[in-house]
Structure 1
Amino acid sequence: MDVRRILLVGLGNHTHPNTRHSVGFLAVDYIAEQLGLKWTRDKNYIANVASTTLSIDLPRTKQKKQKEKKAVRIKDLQESNKKVDNNDIENIALDDNDTKENHENKNENKSGSENGLIGVKTKKRDIEQPRVEPIRLEMTLMKPGLLMNLSGKSVGKAVRNLHISPSNIIVIHDDMQRELGKISPKFGGSANGHNGIKSIIECLRTDQFHRLRIGIGRPPSHIDDRSHAVVSSYVLRAFTRAEKDMLLNEVFPKSKDEVIRLCTTGTK
């Protein structure tokens, strides 16, 4: 069985846990609750952690497989009454994936009366692939307990202690560049101004890890959102009741599905 160790990190500001800047906290809280997990305080990591082991069954896939087509060329059949000899028979295997060749063969079959080629068609059939072994996920969820710009210290300690590859890290964080609730996965690249991601990159000495960005929107257009004071005030603002409902009923369930997808397809 394929075993993968995963570190799922939710970023947030522990002094303002229910604000836009802490949507990463809220997302992993939701995932932990769905998995029936309880948070515990880890003094070594300076973080709240929860661990679980999951067995994920990958779906079987079906593919269309066409039996080999065969054509029989009979030389001078109309001019001779002799029996067809085996030497006069040519078996032509046609590759179903070669569309160009199939097209040419269709044209040949269409003009079979001229060249003596008789096409024998066979039906396609569904071939069910062998059952894929499930993937075992040894997953640790984390909410760093340090300031946002120091989050990388908690992540770095966990990575070293758990022997987790950076490519098996998934970080959920807020993103002002996207409208509220918009989910966008990303692997590698710059921090795009996010201090929590910047800290993780510095502590791991690599940017090669997964991020799941959740949009929190921007301040109203009539406000100069380039001001640090304006940005800070906005990201530390609590979600409205309607926004919380949208997160819990729509955004976080999709985030959980995306995390599972990344664990099964994007990690090693």
Structure 2
Amino acid sequence: MFLVVGQGNPGPGYERTRHNAGFQVLDRLGLEFRKRGEALLAEAKGGVFVKPLTYYNATGRVVGPLARFYKIPPERILVVHDEMDLPLGRLRFKAGGGLAGNKGLISIAEALGSTGFHRLRLGIGKPPSPREGARYVLSPFRPEELPLWERVLEAARGAVLCWVEEGFTPCANRYNALDLAP
């Protein structure tokens, strides 16, 4: 059994923002999500896919209890999230390690008592200045970025399915060097 978590914020005002990258990827899987507590869940392919309805920075409030309920260890959890440290057009798998100040990941690590979960980091690029980080992640993609973002979402959809079917290493080997930017 596995758990795939798409990070994002609930509500239509956040739907197309950079911070909702995880929700956008899970939406492309064609799964039927049902509300359960503070989450939208879909059970498919031998695991659980979840879009937490807590805000991004409180994702652990959903992930911790689900991992315990389904008895899923951290290394069988994949968190799909936006990443300012990667340029738009790049995606990268990561297993464990630092959390780079990402409050949603910190929340998950605290809830699990471990940083050993896997991540699929989707590059969204850097804000114009470091002080604009919060505003940047909560903004939609610019019209000229949308064609590239669509390619990223399609690649990320394939990357999630790869992780589910083949595990971490083959997918990291296949997707970490991928650069979709023209």
TM-score category (smaller protein):
0.7 to 0.9
* Residue pair 2:88, 2:149 contacting (<8 A) in 1 also: no
Say yes or no: does 1:257 pair with 2:161: no
* Residue pair 2:2, 2:47 contacting (<8 A) in 1 also: yes
Say yes or no: does 1:8 pair with 2:12: no
TM-score, with structure 2 as normaliser: 0.85
Name the counterpart of 2:41. 49
Question: Partners in 2 of 1:262 and 1:201 — Cα distance?
Answer: 20
In structure 2, the residue corresponding to 1:198 is in which secondary structure?
helix
In structure 1, the residue corresponding to 2:130 is in which secondary structure?
coil
Name the counterpart of 1:176. 84
Kindly state the Cα deviation for residue 252 of structure 1 after the two structures are TM-superposed: 2.0
Say yes or no: does 1:28 pair with 2:22: no
Which residue identity lines up with residue 226 of structure 1 in the other structure? P
**Greater helix percent: which structure?**
2
Kindly state the Cα deviation for residue 166 of structure 1 after the two structures are TM-superposed: 1.1
Which residue identity lines up with residue 66 of structure 2 in the other structure? A
In structure 2, the residue corresponding to 1:214 is in which secondary structure?
strand
Structure 1: which 4+ aligned runs deviate by more than 6 Å? Answer: none
Q: Which runs of 5+ in 1 are unaligned?
A: 54-137
Q: How many residues align?
A: 166
Kindly state the Cα deviation for residue 260 of structure 1 after the two structures are TM-superposed: 2.9
Identify the match of residue 40 of structure 1 among 26, 34, 37: 34
Say yes or no: does 1:211 pair with 2:119: yes
Question: Could you give the per-residue CA deviations for residues 191-235 of structure 1, whole angstroms, max 9, x where no partner exists?
Answer: 101111010000000001100000111123xxxx222xx111111
In structure 2, the residue corresponding to 1:171 is in which secondary structure?
strand
Q: Which runs of 5+ in 2 are unaligned?
A: 170-182
Question: Partners in 1 of 2:130 and 2:154 — Cα distance?
Answer: 32
Question: Partners in 1 of 2:136 and 2:153 — Cα distance?
Answer: 21
Say yes or no: does 1:240 pair with 2:142: yes
Which residue identity lines up with residue 151 of structure 1 in the other structure? T
Question: Could you give the per-residue CA deviations for residues 218-257 of structure 1, whole angstroms, max 9, x where no partner exists?
Answer: 123xxxx222xx1111111112344333333x21222122
Question: Partners in 1 of 2:159 and 2:34 — Cα distance?
Answer: 25
In structure 2, the residue corresponding to 1:158 is in which secondary structure?
helix
Which residue identity lines up with residue 206 of structure 1 in the other structure? S
Question: Could you give the per-residue CA deviations for residues 55-94 of structure 1, whole angstroms, max 9, x where no partner exists?
Answer: xxxxxxxxxxxxxxxxxxxxxxxxxxxxxxxxxxxxxxxx
Which residue identity lines up with residue 259 of structure 1 in the other structure? V
**Greater strand percent: which structure?**
1
In structure 2, the residue corresponding to 1:21 is in which secondary structure?
helix
Question: Could you give the per-residue CA deviations for residues 75-131 of structure 1, whole angstroms, max 9, x where no partner exists?
Answer: xxxxxxxxxxxxxxxxxxxxxxxxxxxxxxxxxxxxxxxxxxxxxxxxxxxxxxxxx
Kindly state the Cα deviation for residue 181 of structure 1 after the two structures are TM-superposed: 2.5
In structure 1, the residue corresponding to 2:59 is in which secondary structure?
helix
Which residue identity lines up with residue 142 of structure 2 in the other structure? T
1:119-130 to 2 correspondence within 5 Å?
A: none
Question: Partners in 2 of 1:142 and 1:181 — Cα distance?
Answer: 24
